[in-house]
Structure 1
Amino acid sequence: MNALRRLATLLYGADPGLRRMLHYWAATCILYVICIGLLMLQVEQGLSDPDAAHGLVAFGACGAFAFYVLIRANAVFKLASDQLAVSQAAFSLICAVWAYTISGPLRAAMLTMAVVVIVFCMFALRPRQTLMLSAAAIVGMGVTMWWLQAHDPVRFPPATEFLTFGYLAGALVSTALLSGEMSKLRARTKRQKAELSDALETIKVLATVDELTSLINRRHMNQVLETEERRHAPGAEACIALIDIDFFKQVNDRYGHATGDAVLRCFSAAARASLRANDVLARWGGEEFLLMLPDAPVEDARAVLERMAERVAAMVVPGLDDGQRISFSAGLARRRSGESFADAINRADKALYQAKEAGRDRIVLAEAEVP
């Protein structure tokens, strides 16, 4: 199994993009092999010249190998994928024209291969490139048919060649036009997919982020707490703090809700600037915020809150009188081993109540945490 894997890596490489191009090449080679088998059957039935058929087989095999080398070593040649696709399509059209000239009474069947080549181009090339290849196929086949009927009118009657050319030109032009429509459809589908992705991202943000403060909301914070509760190793420390902006209702009543909103925005910015890398702050409701400090002893958690208090006190909030200072009260609790975050939040809430009762603008540890 390892030997087969190493052989596949040697033949196809490890890069996903390279492997995808070589898979397309392999699919083309399978089609070549089928066509060669049918051509050899024509030779056996006396419908095609053996020398001409063998020459076409050799030409096709050399071309397939050359394209394998170009694709496999594209890191050196640095050809764009559409350049390789155009080159392979042009090569296949040459093979189709050659097959037409040597297939005798079955030559009309060879025209289907030209149409198949253009259909392949619909998925790999831009509409303009497909249209140019269709035009090249029409011109190349037209010149070939004209030369054949001019030099061998018995085997290639002019009227038959003319009508055959008309059918081929109609099929190739129709296929090229359909390629343009398919390209538009793919572009529209891609655009709709991008719009849907953007809409889903917007919905996700609206469902998890508080629009005013840009902090995560209560709903998402509960999910974060559940995840942290599952992750929390026995003995590891984590702290929870409930924070309430002091006298926020008075700010709203005196300065208006627009200024109150500015206070909330400025507070969230100052608070986030005080956090450690893994700390999570959420708007818990109104002017109340919940802070989770994972892997933090009580001393470190208190230091974060004190740093936050200094930044909040230094805030300049548009709309407030000069000298108007914003402060907050906080209740801090260490989550005990095996304790749910809901219970830790309840203890932090009681500590917050004590902070308010004691005059606000202070941090109070839950009773069990006081030395």
Structure 2
Amino acid sequence: MRFVDLVFGLEPRMRRMLRYWVATACLYGFFVLLMLLYSSKGLVSRDSLLPLAAYTISIVVASYALIRSSNRLGIAPTTLATLQGLLGIGCNIWGYSIAGPLRGATLMGLMVVVVFCTFALRPGQTLRLAVAGLAGLGATMWWHQAYDPLHYPPGVEAVTFAIMAACSLAVTFLTGEMSKLRARLKEQKAELEKALGTIRTLATVDELTGLANRRHMNEALGREQRRAPGGRPTCVALLDIDHFKRINDLHGHAAGDDVLRLFARTARSRLRGTDMLARWGGEEFLLMLPDTDPIDAAALLERMRADVAAIALPDIDPTLRITFSAGLATRRGGEALTDTVNRADKVLYQAKAAGRNRVVAA
């Protein structure tokens, strides 16, 4: 595995590009072996084949080096694909020139080059690469039929080029459509993932305050209840904004929403990363404090109460001050946290009955 990581790197995009490189290298190697076998039968000159084999090996090695260093050199994948495509086209045209009676088989390599480049190039770029390949092939075929018509009959070369051009352009068109479809599917996947993320957020977060919603808090209470006991106990507190209905009646529901948002932002600023504050319903909030002594929990609520009382509301009413009443309860042993919340709810009513704007512990 260390060797594989060393050769292919750790970055997923780099590994994907090098997988394409391996496939290309295997294909080139297969063609070279076939040509060498062909030359052993005396059907093609080994002297003309060896330079092509050396060129092919150079392409494979250079391609690997460029891919591995592309991030450091800032070479875009489209540039790499175009360069490899042009080198591959050159290799196929060279093979066509020396393959003799088997030269028609080498033409299929041009279409393979186009298909491989589809994964990295846009449809227009792939089309330009295919046209460049056909231009190079056409020039080569014209040169051979003009200077060696015995081995490259003009009529045969013309028909061969016409068939090759039609097939190559058809493959380019089809792969371009596949590339567009793949891009649309990728875009739809991204949109779906974004929508799922939004759904997950809406399922766990109160839209108005940005706090956890009641459902999410119930899940958190369940996780906390299943957590192995140890250390300090868990405290929960129910907080209720005092006279909130009066704020709505006098200043409107928009002002009430602003008060809820300001309260949530101010109260949350006092919490640790392990604490959790949720909108429990209306103007009521539930606070869970894991591993917290009752004395520390009460002190936190008092600081929070002072912060909330200091909130200024000049756009609503400069004389208006926000206060809240809180009922605090500490989990007893293996008590269900829902029972702890019920006890906190009972002492919350005691805090309201005692005049509000205070914290009462169970």
TM-score, normalising length: structure 2: 0.92
Deviates more, 1:30-39 or 1:77-86: 77-86
TM-score, normalising length: structure 1: 0.90
Q: For residues 62-105 of structure 1, what are the alpha-carbon distances to aligned partners after superposition, in whole Å with 9 as ceiling and x for unaligned?
A: 32223233334446544333222222211111111111112222
Question: CA 1:134–1:189 in structure 2 vs 1: closer, same or farther (change >3 Å)?
Answer: same
Secondary structure, in 3 states, of the residue corresponding to 2:350?
A: helix
Q: Any conservation in 1 of the 2:231–2:291 contact (CA below 8 Å)?
A: no
Secondary structure, in 3 states, of the residue corresponding to 2:325?
A: strand
Partner of 1:303: 299
Whether 1:196 and 2:192 are equivalent positions in the alignment is yes
Whether 1:47 and 2:57 are equivalent positions in the alignment is no
Of 344, 353, 356 in structure 1, the residue corresponding to residue 352 of structure 2 is 356
Q: How does 1:201-212 map to 2 (within 5 A)?
A: 201-212=197-208
Question: CA 1:13–1:265 in structure 2 vs 1: closer, same or farther (change >3 Å)?
Answer: closer
Partner of 1:256: 252
- Root mean square deviation, CA, Å: 2.1
Q: Any conservation in 2 of the 1:274–1:311 contact (CA below 8 Å)?
A: no
Structure 2 residues without counterparts, runs of 5 or longer: none
Q: For residues 88-125 of structure 1, what are the alpha-carbon distances to aligned partners after superposition, in whole Å with 9 as ceiling and x for unaligned?
A: 21111111111111222221121111111111111122
In 1, Cα distance between equivalents of 2:162 and 2:325: 87
Q: Any conservation in 2 of the 1:239–1:334 contact (CA below 8 Å)?
A: yes
Q: For residues 288-323 of structure 1, what are the alpha-carbon distances to aligned partners after superposition, in whole Å with 9 as ceiling and x for unaligned?
A: 110011222112211221122112222233675442
Partner of 1:152: 148
Whether 1:227 and 2:226 are equivalent positions in the alignment is no
Q: Any conservation in 1 of the 2:278–2:287 contact (CA below 8 Å)?
A: yes
TM-superposed CA distance for 1:286, in Å, is: 1.3
Q: Which AA in structure 1 matches 2:115? A: V
In 2, Cα distance between equivalents of 1:58 and 1:212: 69
Partner of 1:271: 267
In 1, Cα distance between equivalents of 2:101 and 2:31: 16
Whether 1:290 and 2:281 are equivalent positions in the alignment is no
Question: CA 1:53–1:321 in structure 2 vs 1: closer, same or farther (change >3 Å)?
Answer: closer
Partner of 2:32: 36
Q: Which AA in structure 2 matches 1:57? A: A
Deviates more, 1:100-109 or 1:65-74: 65-74
Partner of 1:138: 134
Question: CA 1:205–1:25 in structure 2 vs 1: closer, same or farther (change >3 Å)?
Answer: same
Partner of 1:20: 16
Partner of 2:157: 161
Partner of 2:60: 64
Partner of 1:217: 213
In 2, Cα distance between equivalents of 1:236 and 1:304: 16
Question: CA 1:305–1:21 in structure 2 vs 1: closer, same or farther (change >3 Å)?
Answer: same
Partner of 1:369: none
Q: Any conservation in 1 of the 2:56–2:91 contact (CA below 8 Å)?
A: yes
Partner of 1:106: 102
Whether 1:119 and 2:115 are equivalent positions in the alignment is yes
In 2, Cα distance between equivalents of 1:290 and 1:160: 85
Of 1, 5, 8 in structure 1, the residue corresponding to residue 4 of structure 2 is 8
Structure 1 residues without counterparts, runs of 5 or longer: 367-371
Q: Which AA in structure 2 matches 1:185? A: L
Secondary structure, in 3 states, of the residue corresponding to 2:311?
A: coil
TM-superposed CA distance for 1:143, in Å, is: 0.7
Whether 1:184 and 2:175 are equivalent positions in the alignment is no
Q: Any conservation in 1 of the 2:313–2:321 contact (CA below 8 Å)?
A: no
Q: For residues 241-276 of structure 1, what are the alpha-carbon distances to aligned partners after superposition, in whole Å with 9 as ceiling and x for unaligned?
A: 001112222333343333322322222122122323
In 1, Cα distance between equivalents of 2:334 and 2:352: 29
Give the length in aligned residue pairs: 362
Question: CA 1:190–1:8 in structure 2 vs 1: closer, same or farther (change >3 Å)?
Answer: closer
